[in-house]
Amino acid sequence: MKKETLKEIGKGLIAFSNLIGGFSIINSFFGVTHNAPVGVTAFIVFYIVIAGYTTGAILINKGAD
């Protein structure tokens, strides 16, 4: 892949992580009842956000080289 493509994919992953985190916070205030326990949901959201940020940063750095 080209370097610029890797950078843009990395930025997209970081933006996706921001969306997931923001929507989960909004849903916790205004959402309906949950089927899964709160701890499980929080773990999944935390995992997605951390993995998205980490992968995005790695791809941005790889594209910069």
pLDDT (0 to 100) of residue 30: 77
Q: Which domain holds residue 18?
A: 3-64
Q: Residue 10: how many CA atoms within 13 Å on its side-chain side?
A: 18
Structural domains in the chain (count): 1
In this structure, what are the phi and psi dihedrals at residue 46, rounded to the nearest 5 degrees? -60, -40
**Do 7 and 61 touch, CB atoms closer than 8 A?**
no
pLDDT tens-digit readout, 28-58: 777 776 677 778 888 888 999 999 999 999 9
pTM of structure: 0.80
